[in-house]
Amino acid sequence: MTDSSRTLGEWIEEFEREAFRLETLDDYSQSGGVDAYRAFLAGEPQPEDHKTAAWVGTVANAVRNGKRMYRVHILSRPLTEYLRFELSWGYRRNMTAGEEFFILDTTHQPNPIPDAPDFWLFDDKAVGAMSYDGAGKFLGAEFLGEERTSQFLAYRDTAMAHAVPFPEWWAKYGE
């Protein structure tokens, strides 16, 4: 049985094998890194605290311990300003710590999982459905019961089957 008493932060710190994230939004600008996003928009250099964000250490520790952290972002081009920021500053930074990124580009193909919400999936057993407001502000995560796990495993598998590795996508479409 899934331990639904854990918080999202606890799952991120305590998962055993793998943590998968599906991102479906074009804007998470109110959910962290706000100052870095402002610097990006202003054409300024990356703030030092963005380069050394706690997330980088979290990922590095997990990867060093043989765990996998990976995500798929469903998006279409042209990229929003926020996606340009997230991909160029965030993904490229987090890759140095060992996080893996994949892009499911729906510019010229339909979204194979249009009803999938943003979520985290931990060790193929715990699903944290993410909630955001219309401005990209994180409102919380709801851990779903194990009867929903197979649905989210299917979302992950479908996303991965249609996505390409971020470095390959970025070489073609990045800025």
CATH of the domain at 35: 3.30.870.10
Counting the structural domains of the chain, the total is: 1
Asked, for residue 1, whether it belongs to a domain, the answer is no
Mean pLDDT rounded to a whole number for the chain: 94
- Strand ranges (DSSP E) for the chain? 18-23, 68-75, 100-105, 119-122, 126-132, 138-144, 164-165
User: Which residue in this structure is represented by tokens 């993904």?
Assistant: 91
Other beta carbons within 10 Å of 159: 23
Asked, for residue 3, whether it belongs to a domain, the answer is no
Per-residue pLDDT reduced to its tens digit, 71-94: 999 999 999 999 999 999 999 999
**pLDDT at residue 133 is higher than 90:** yes
Asked, for residue 2, whether it belongs to a domain, the answer is no
Q: How confident is the model at residue 2 (pLDDT cuts 50, 70, 90)?
A: very low
Domain that holds residue 124: 8-173
Asked, for residue 97, whether it belongs to a domain, the answer is yes
Question: What is the pLDDT at residue 51?
Answer: 87
Per-residue pLDDT reduced to its tens digit, 13-35: 999 999 999 999 999 988 888 89
What pTM value is reported for the model? 0.94
